[in-house]
Amino acid sequence: MAISKALKEELIVDYPAFIENTKKFYNKEISVQDYKGLSGPFGSYAEKGANTGMSRWRFPGGILDQDKIRFVAETIRYYDLKVPHFTTGQCIQFHNLDGETIIKLFEECHRHGIYNRGTGGDHPRNTAASPLLGLYKDEIWDFSPYVKALSEYVLTFIKEIKFPRKFKTAFSNGQENSAHVTFKDFGVLAHPEDKTFSIYVAGGLGPNPKMGVLVGNHIQPEELLYYVKTLALIFSEHGNYKNRSKARVRYLQDILGGPKALQNTFKTYLAKVKETEKLTINPTEFIDSINKQGKVDPSLQDPRIGEQKQEGLYYVNWHPYGGNPSQKQLLQVLEYVGSLDDEVQIRLSSDESMYIVNLTADEARQVLAITENGGTNDFYNSVSCIGATICQVGLQDSSGLLIKIFDAVRKATNVNSDLLPKFHISGCPSSCGTHQIGAIGFHGAMKVVNSVPTPAFSVFRGGNENLGHEHFAKQIGTIVSSDIPSFFVELGQILTKANLIFDEWIQIHEADFDELVSKYE
């Protein structure tokens, strides 16, 4: 089911204002700060230096069908989009763009069902979900129809409800929590055993992170939209509009007097919404079936390949370092995948990786071959935001540091990278690199060394996103940027000598890890 014609038109009705403001900004007639509020609602922000900008493309659930795959490839070629980035919100961003290109991309995306209205600014963001939903070998319940229903419904909020800053929605299949549903603005946790949902609200990463508050336990999935509308109303009526640093859903916990008070408020508002709204989901309106079949091939063995529940079909995972594929390699992937049948999809993940799904064994082999030069273990699948060389609010070069760490570990002797953990880097405290849930995390900072302000990163330890073990990382120190690669080499040598993976080693060596951080401070 596609979004209605009326909603589609509503999402582009103020496009002329975006054109006018973008032209004014790149003609230096509007300040960076003023333009941010005008361009963000259209999925675009100016970059460092204010001479270029970015375009963020929304893919609900991270899914690209064949039409979108071919469109993205054609657009990269036509506009020579050189700097793509896979985000932790399951979007694709294109960077280093001029104003005219940004203007044209918004309209062309809209024509192809890519609705970038609201991917920035004070609006609902992309709806994230488990990337292999509907494909898992041991999956009991495919709730994809509800992901589609929610992602389409929240688009109606863009013009209907005034929001303080971001509003992020996400789903988990009940087995993994890569979309962070238990600490999201609006998180949906599936219970496959009885096909119900639990709803968590007012969580989030960034400054003053908070775990979500449970406001619906084992609810019927058809009632999902009543819950998201309830939160939207509470947010619009009680959210902080005066202080942008606190204009996020998670601060409702403080505004209303704590988690219990939020639960009580939610219960009251929910009853009113159910009395006045008709939001029951009919899942049959959102069902897409997979009819393709292949032949099981036991010889197809690779850590990046997985077998789907659909007979003879496979998926391939590709994680370009830091979510930053080269233009050449991304085009090669898109052009090959776009040449396959209409059931082959791309699915973006919240860890900045891409899954190519619904492949036969021979197709999977071909995709595997053209997606080399990416992460092959947890360490090389580490996560980074785009960083301060591009982002106007970034403090330090997170993406650059990621590559320097990788290079140092590759060159080092007596280091087995398989023992090192996935780490997360954010260029600033905003946690776009999700540093607060990493076993090791960093965010950009400054450190005074010999009376000289020096680029550095604050170090975090002990974050965990796993269901039932959710925990935000603790800040334990600050290391100058240039010393962090050496820090990882020494940590790798310690783990290699002990022959233990980091997750096992840290359980009894937390003090030793903190001492190692202190050594490099």
pLDDT in tens, 82-98: 999 999 999 999 999 99
Q: What is the spatial distance between Cα 109 and Cα 97, in angstroms, rounded to a whole number?
A: 15
Tell me the pLDDT tens digit for each residue of 296-322.
999 999 999 999 999 999 999 999 999
The helices-and-strands tally (H runs, E runs) of the chain is 16, 19
Pair type for strands 305-307 and 213-219: unpaired
Q: What is the spatial distance between Cα 329 and Cα 280, in angstroms, rounded to a whole number?
A: 43
Determine the average pLDDT of the residues in 372-395.
93
DSSP state string for 440-466: EEEEEEEEEETTEEEEEEEEEE--B-S
Residue 44, φ and ψ in degrees, nearest 5: -140, 140
As a residue count, the chain comes to: 521
What's the CA dihedral at 249, 253, 255, 256 to 10 degrees? 120
Whether 180 has a pLDDT exceeding 70, the answer reads yes
Question: Do the beta carbons of residue 361 and residue 297 sit within 8 Å?
Answer: yes
DSSP state string for 351-371: TS-EEEEEE-HHHHHHHHHHT
pTM: 0.94
Determine the average pLDDT of the residues in 253-266.
97
Q: 160: pLDDT confidence band, cut at 50, 70 and 90?
A: confident
Whether 162 has a pLDDT exceeding 90, the answer reads no
Tokens at residue 373, please? 């030069």
Tokens at residue 315, please? 């998926």
In this prediction, residue 210 carries a pLDDT of: 96
Domains and CATH numbers, the chain: 123-288 (3.30.413.10), 305-370 (3.30.1370), 379-520 (3.30.413.10)
Q: What is the spatial distance between Cα 159 and Cα 138, in angstroms, rounded to a whole number?
A: 40
In this prediction, residue 1 carries a pLDDT of: 45
Q: 2: pLDDT confidence band, cut at 50, 70 and 90?
A: low
Whether 246 has a pLDDT exceeding 90, the answer reads no
Tokens at residue 365, please? 């082999």
Tell me the pLDDT tens digit for each residue of 120-156.
766 778 899 999 999 999 899 999 999 999 999 998 8
Quick check: helix, strand or coil at residue 53? strand
Identify the H or E element spanning 377: none
Q: What is the spatial distance between Cα 67 and Cα 420, in angstroms, rounded to a whole number?
A: 39
Neighbours of 279 (CB within 10 A): 18
pLDDT over 90 percentage in the chain:
88
Q: 7: pLDDT confidence band, cut at 50, 70 and 90?
A: confident
Question: Do the beta carbons of residue 208 and residue 253 sit within 8 Å?
Answer: no
C-alpha neighbours within 13 Å on the C-beta side of residue 8: 12
Burial 197-224 (b: 16+ CB within 10 A, else e): bbbbbbbbbbeebbbbbbbbeebebebb
Q: What is the spatial distance between Cα 249 and Cα 202, in angstroms, rounded to a whole number?
A: 5
Neighbours of 195 (CB within 10 A): 13
The identity of residue 319, as a single letter, is: H
Candidate from 135-139, 264-268, 332-336, 460-464 with smallest mean pLDDT: 135-139
Q: 26: pLDDT confidence band, cut at 50, 70 and 90?
A: very high
- CA-based end-to-end distance of the chain: 55
Question: Do the beta carbons of residue 367 and residue 316 sit within 8 Å?
Answer: yes
DSSP state string for 422-445: PEEEESSTT-TT-GGGSSEEEEEE
Q: Name the burial class of residue 274, with classes exposed (0-12), middle (13-18) and buried (19+) by CB atoms within 10 angstroms of its CB.
A: middle
Neighbours of 301 (CB within 10 A): 7
Question: Do the beta carbons of residue 479 and residue 491 sit within 8 Å?
Answer: no
In this prediction, residue 124 carries a pLDDT of: 75
Tell me the pLDDT tens digit for each residue of 328-351.
999 999 999 999 999 999 999 999
